[in-house]
Structure 1
Amino acid sequence: NIHGFYAIKSASQIDKIKSLDSVGFGWSRLEYDSGKVILNITRKNNNEYAIPVGFFDPFDTAKKNSTNTMLMVFADDKKLENSKYSLAEYIITEPEARKEAIRAISTQVNQTVSEGISVAFDGVVIDFENLRGENAKGQFNIFLAELRKELNKNNKEVFVALHPAVQPGRSYYDGYDFKTIGGIADKVILMAHDYNAKQLNETEMEMGYTITPLTPIDEIYWALKNITDKDTGVQQKEKILIQLSFDSAQWKLKDGKVINKYPYTPDYETIRQRLLSDDVKIVYSDVYENPCATFFNDSDGTDNIVWYEDQRSINAKLKLAKMFGIEGISLWRLGNIPDYKDTGTREIYLDVWDQLLNFN
C-alpha cells in the first residue's frame, strides 16, 4: 500500500499519482479566526496548504486511476493569543471548537468548490502536530472518535499522521495513543523522520559539529517497535504506513567551524548535480544507515556536508519495517522523490522511485 502527499510543490511529479493507492492533497489548514475555528483552503494568512490554481488536474488524475483522494487537514502547534493552548490543543480540548472543526472538515470533504468546479474527497488525513502529554492523548482520541462518527455518514475514510516514540530519557511528542488511534483510523501514518538537528548552538558551530543524519536507523527501529507494541501499539499492522520524507540538511564550514546556524535544505535535483561531480565524496554511514556527501565550494570558500536519503537508506528502513510486519508506506512528498537512473561511471543511488514501487 503506497500513500503519497501532493502538497506545496508537487506538480512536477503529478504523473506519479497513478501509481499510488491514495493521495493526500495538502490543501487545507485549520485556523482560529474572529473567535472561531475555520478550515482555510485559500492563500490568506500565508497559508502554504491552499488549493492551488489548476487543482483539478491532480484531483482528476487520481480519480481516473482509482487512487483514493484524501484531503489533508493540518493544524500547527502555534500558541493562540491569550491562551494556554496551541491551536491543535484548543481544537481537541474545547467542545465548541471541536464541533466547529469537525463540521468544517466534514463540509469540505463532502464538497469543495474552487475555480467553479465542485469535487468531493474520499476522506481526510488528520495532521495535528506536536501534541504532548496524557491530557492531549485523551482529548485527541475524543476528537478522532467524533470526527469518525461524522464522516461515517458519507462513508469517508480517516487517516491519522502521528509522531513516533523516541528512545527513553528524551522528551518527545507523546500526545498520541497509538492503540486507540489505530482502532479509529483506517490508516496510521508514522512520521519517523526529521530526527536531524534543526539548528546548532554556538558550541556546536565552534566545534564544527555536522553529524546530523536525517533518519538514524536506531531511531527508526525504536519508532517501529513502539507503534507495533502488542499492548500499546496499533493492533492491526496492515493499517500502519511508515512515512519516508525526502528532506536534506547541509552545513557549511570555514576553518573547521560551521557558519550556518540552521541547515540549508537543497532539493534532490540540486543534490544529484552535486553527486555527479567528481570532486564530491559520497559517504554511507553503516551506523546510521544514512548517506552524506562532502565537497569544497570554490565560490564561497567553504567545506560542505549534506545529509540526504538514497536507495540504500530507504532500503534499510523498508527492510526494518517489513521485519515488524509493516507493508505500507507514505511519501512526503511528490515533487521531491528522487527518480534518477544511474548513468555514466558514478553510482549515486538516487533511483528511489522504482525501488518504492517494488517494495511489496
Structure 2
Amino acid sequence: MIYVVSGGDTLYGISQEFGVPEERIEYDNQLYGQSHLAEGQALYIAAGDAVKIRPMYVTGYAYPYVERTVLQESLPILNELLVFSFGFTLQGALVYPQADDLWLVELAWNYGISPMLVLTPFGPDGKFNNYLIQTIVQDAAIRNTLIQNLLTAVRDRGYAGVDVDFEYILPQDREAYAGFVGELRSVMNANGYIVSVALAPKTSADQPGLIYEGVDYRLLGQNADHVFLMTYEWGYTYGPPMAVAPLNKVREVVDYAVQEIPAQKIIMGIPNYAYDWTLPFTRGTSEARVIGNVEAVQIAAAQGAAIQFDDVAQSPHFTYWENGIQHEVWFEDVRSIEAKLELADAYGLMGVGYWNLMRPFRANWLLLQSLMGK
C-alpha cells in the first residue's frame, strides 16, 4: 500500500518489487516533473491487500473557481461538496460568490454528491467579521430575513443544505450563535434540507482565545445535523514551523469533541495543503508560503532534500537551502493521511473532511478509496 523511498531506489526497481507498472506508480503519485525520487518520499502502491476501515462520510470545501480536473479526482470518493462561500449583509441579504457556483452544484449531483451552501461572515476586507455575526444572532428580525433568504437560495440553486462557517464569535454571543444554528436547522429540516457547522479545534469548554470562546461544542452539536472539526492550522502562515495537523494535537481535539457531541455527528478535518517557512523564524516578521502536498515533494526532489517523518506528529517534513536561505517544509503524505483516517475510524466518527479540494493530491483519494473499499 505505502512504500517509503530509500537512497538509491528507482522507479523501475520499485515497479519490479511490487509488480506494478512504472507508469501506474508515476500516475498514482503524480510524479510528472520529478526527475528522480526523493529519499523518504512515501508512495501509494496499488498492490497487495488494503487494510480496510469502515466506509466513512467524506466531504471537502471548494471555491467555485476550482480547476475541474483537480476537483474530479476527489468526486468519486466524496459524499458531500461544500461550496465556499456565500456572505451576508447587516440587513440579512445574501452576498453570492463572485464566480458561478451553479456548475459545482450540477456536477455534484451528477456524481451523486450533496452540494452544500457555505455561509461565512466576511466583511468588506475579506476577513471574518464578528460584528456581522453579532448583528445576525442578536437581532431576531434580521436573523429571520437571513434564514428565509438562505432557504430561497438553497431551493432555487439546488443545494442540499447549509454549512455555517463562522469564526471569531464573541464570547457574549456564544449561546445566541448556537441558537441561530438551531433556528436555521429547524427551518431547513422542515423543508428537507440539512445544516452543518464548522467548529474551531477546542480541547476544553473554557479554552481561552477569541477563536474558541464563542464556540459551544455541546450546544452546536445539539443544534446542527453534523459538525466539521477544523483540526488543522497548528502550523500556520505566521507561526513557527511545525506540522499543520499534528496527530497528537488532532487527537486532543477529538478526545474533547466526543465528550460533548455524539461521534456519529462529527467530521474530522484534514488539510490538503502545506507550508514552506524560511529560517530563522522571527515572530511578527516571518510568513510561510502555502504550497500543495504534491508540490512539497517536488521541491524536496529538486533540492535533493531527504524527507523525514515525525513519529509524534505523524507528519513528513524536510529542510533545504535556496539562494543562501534555509527553508523548512511540513506537509501531508499518504502515511499521515492513513494515520488520520485510522484515528477517525477508531473513534467511530461520522467521517473526514478536507480543507480544501483546490490542490491536486491523487494518492490521497486513491488511498481513501482502497482503505474504505468504496
Flag whether TM exceeds 0.5 (same fold). Answer: yes
Structure 1 spans left out of the alignment, 5+ residues: 44-49, 113-119, 201-209, 340-350
Structure 2 spans left out of the alignment, 5+ residues: 1-56
Secondary structure at 1:125 match in 2 = strand
8 Å contact kept, 1:251–1:305: yes
Partner Cα separation in structure 2 for residue 5 and residue 85 of structure 1: 22
Corresponding residue of 1:343 = none
Mapping for residues 97-176 of structure 1, pairs under 5 Å: 97-112=142-157, 120-133=158-171, 135-166=172-203, 171=209, 172-176=211-215
Q: Which has the higher helix share?
A: 2
Partner Cα separation in structure 1 for residue 131 and residue 247 of structure 2: 31
Q: CA deviation at 1:257?
A: 6.2
The one-character-per-residue Cα deviations of 1:250-298 (angstroms, maximum 9, x if unpaired) are 1123xx566962111123343232133361121111122221121111x
Partner Cα separation in structure 2 for residue 268 and residue 86 of structure 1: 35
Partner Cα separation in structure 2 for residue 258 and residue 270 of structure 1: 25
| AA partner of residue 270 (structure 2) | L
Q: CA deviation at 1:220?
A: 0.7
2:331 paired with 1:308: yes
The one-character-per-residue Cα deviations of 1:230-267 (angstroms, maximum 9, x if unpaired) are xxx112x22211011222221123xx566962111123
Corresponding residue of 1:207 = none
Corresponding residue of 2:340 = 317
Kindly indicate whether structure 1 or structure 2 has the higher relative contact order, using CA contacts under 8 Å at least 6 residues apart: 2
Corresponding residue of 1:352 = 364
Q: How many residues are aligned here?
A: 309
Partner Cα separation in structure 2 for residue 220 and residue 307 of structure 1: 16
Alignment partner for residue 276 of structure 2, among 250, 258, 264?
250
| AA partner of residue 174 (structure 1) | E
8 Å contact kept, 1:17–1:61: no
8 Å contact kept, 2:265–2:350: no
Secondary structure at 1:277 match in 2 = helix
TM-score, length basis structure 2: 0.75
2:354 paired with 1:331: yes
8 Å contact kept, 2:238–2:286: yes
8 Å contact kept, 1:164–1:191: yes
Partner Cα separation in structure 2 for residue 60 and residue 95 of structure 1: 34
Q: Structure 1 213/192 Cα, relative in aligned 2: closer, same or farther at 3 Å?
A: same
Secondary structure at 2:291 match in 1 = coil
- Percent of counterpart pairs with the same letter? 22
Q: CA deviation at 1:9?
A: 4.5
The one-character-per-residue Cα deviations of 1:18-56 (angstroms, maximum 9, x if unpaired) are 331111111412233xxx23211143xxxxxx435xx42
8 Å contact kept, 1:292–1:308: yes
Query: What CA RMSD, in Å, does the superposition of the two structures yield over aligned residues?
Result: 2.7
Q: Answer with 157-166 or 95-104: which moved more.
A: 95-104
Alignment partner for residue 63 of structure 1, among 94, 98, 109?
109
The one-character-per-residue Cα deviations of 1:108-142 (angstroms, maximum 9, x if unpaired) are 11113xxxxxxx21111111112242x32211121
Secondary structure at 2:175 match in 1 = helix
8 Å contact kept, 1:76–1:86: no
